[in-house]
Structure 1
Amino acid sequence: MTFNISSPNEAFDCLLDFLGLSGSDYIHEYYIECDADNNRFLEKHSDKLEAMDLEDVAFLVLHVTSNYDQCKNIKEHGVKNLQEVLSEDTPLNNFLMVHGLTFDVQAKRMIWNDLEYNIDYDSYRDKSYNLSKIEKNIKEIGRKIYFDNQINGFFYTQDAKKYGTNIHLYPEFLFTISNLAPELSHIKDEWSAKCQGYLLYMLVNFNQLAWYSFACYTDKYDFDDDKLDNWSQLKNWMWSLAIDVANSNISLDKYAYMKQNTVINPDQIMDVIKINS
Structure 2
Amino acid sequence: MTTPFVFDMTNREALIQSLCSYFGLSEEQVEDFVLMNEDVSLELFCQTYDIVEEQLNRPALYIASYHSTTNMDRCASIQTLGLLNLRETIRQDTPLARYLRERGVMFDLDNKTVCCHGNVFDLRKKHVGVVDSRNRAKDFVAYKLYEDHQINGFLCTDDVLDYGGYVNLRPEFLMNVAELFKDSRLESDWKRDPKRQAYVLKYIAPLSDYNPSTFSIHREVVAQKSPEEVEEMKVQGLLTTALRTLFNSMVWGTVSEDISYLNGDAVVPPQNIIQIYTAESYTTFNETAW
TM-score (norm 2): 0.84
Q: 2:262 matched to 1:258?
A: yes
What SS is found at the alignment partner of 1:69? Answer: coil
Q: 2:99 matched to 1:95?
A: yes
2:145 aligns with 145
d(CA) in 2 for partners of 1:179, 1:58 = 38
- Bigger mean CA offset, 203-212 vs 42-51: 42-51
d(CA) in 2 for partners of 1:42, 1:167 = 39
Query: Would the aligned equivalents of 2:70 and 2:171 in 1 still touch at CA under 8 Å?
Result: yes
Query: Would the aligned equivalents of 2:68 and 2:201 in 1 still touch at CA under 8 Å?
Result: yes
d(CA) in 2 for partners of 1:220, 1:202 = 29
User: CA 1:28–1:61 in structure 2 vs 1: closer, same or farther (change >3 Å)?
Assistant: closer
d(CA) in 2 for partners of 1:191, 1:111 = 19
Query: Would the aligned equivalents of 1:8 and 1:246 in 2 still touch at CA under 8 Å?
Result: yes
Q: Please report how far the alpha carbon of residue 43 of structure 1 lies from its aligned counterpart in structure 2 after TM superposition.
A: 2.8
Q: Please report how far the alpha carbon of residue 56 of structure 1 lies from its aligned counterpart in structure 2 after TM superposition.
A: 1.6
Query: Would the aligned equivalents of 2:46 and 2:52 in 1 still touch at CA under 8 Å?
Result: no
d(CA) in 2 for partners of 1:97, 1:231 = 40
What SS is found at the alignment partner of 1:142? Answer: helix
What SS is found at the alignment partner of 1:38? Answer: coil
Q: Please report how far the alpha carbon of residue 233 of structure 1 lies from its aligned counterpart in structure 2 after TM superposition.
A: 4.1
d(CA) in 2 for partners of 1:112, 1:229 = 46
What SS is found at the alignment partner of 1:60? Answer: strand
Letter in 2 for 1:239: L
d(CA) in 1 for partners of 2:169, 2:91 = 22
Instruction: Give unmatched runs, 5+ long, in structure 1.
Output: none
Structure 1 counterpart of 2:13, from 3, 9, 12: 9
1:47 aligns with 51
1:160 aligns with 160
Describe the superposition over 1:114-157 as per-residue Cα deviations: whole angstroms up to 9, x where unpaired. 3322122xx11xx3235443222112111111111111111111
User: CA 1:197–1:46 in structure 2 vs 1: closer, same or farther (change >3 Å)?
Assistant: farther
d(CA) in 1 for partners of 2:171, 2:113 = 20
Q: Please report how far the alpha carbon of residue 205 of structure 1 lies from its aligned counterpart in structure 2 after TM superposition.
A: 0.6
Letter in 2 for 1:244: R
Q: 2:201 matched to 1:197?
A: no
User: CA 1:114–1:133 in structure 2 vs 1: closer, same or farther (change >3 Å)?
Assistant: same
Q: 2:208 matched to 1:207?
A: yes
Q: Please report how far the alpha carbon of residue 223 of structure 1 lies from its aligned counterpart in structure 2 after TM superposition.
A: 7.1
User: CA 1:181–1:251 in structure 2 vs 1: closer, same or farther (change >3 Å)?
Assistant: same
Alignment of 1:113-192 (within 5 A): 113-120=117-124, 123-124=125-126, 127-129=127-129, 131-182=131-182, 184-192=183-191
User: CA 1:44–1:230 in structure 2 vs 1: closer, same or farther (change >3 Å)?
Assistant: farther
Query: Would the aligned equivalents of 1:60 and 1:202 in 2 still touch at CA under 8 Å?
Result: yes
Letter in 2 for 1:37: D
What SS is found at the alignment partner of 1:86? Answer: helix
User: CA 1:49–1:239 in structure 2 vs 1: closer, same or farther (change >3 Å)?
Assistant: farther
d(CA) in 2 for partners of 1:268, 1:164 = 26
Query: Would the aligned equivalents of 2:34 and 2:243 in 1 still touch at CA under 8 Å?
Result: no
Alignment of 1:24-63 (within 5 A): 24-32=28-36, 35-39=37-41, 40-45=44-49, 47=51, 49-63=53-67
Q: Please report how far the alpha carbon of residue 188 of structure 1 lies from its aligned counterpart in structure 2 after TM superposition.
A: 2.3
The alignment-based identity, stated in percent, is 21
Instruction: Give unmatched runs, 5+ long, in structure 2.
Output: 284-290
d(CA) in 1 for partners of 2:198, 2:206 = 25
User: CA 1:21–1:199 in structure 2 vs 1: closer, same or farther (change >3 Å)?
Assistant: same
d(CA) in 2 for partners of 1:230, 1:149 = 22
- Bigger mean CA offset, 136-145 vs 42-51: 42-51
User: CA 1:212–1:16 in structure 2 vs 1: closer, same or farther (change >3 Å)?
Assistant: same
Query: Would the aligned equivalents of 1:211 and 1:223 in 2 still touch at CA under 8 Å?
Result: no
What SS is found at the alignment partner of 1:252? Answer: coil
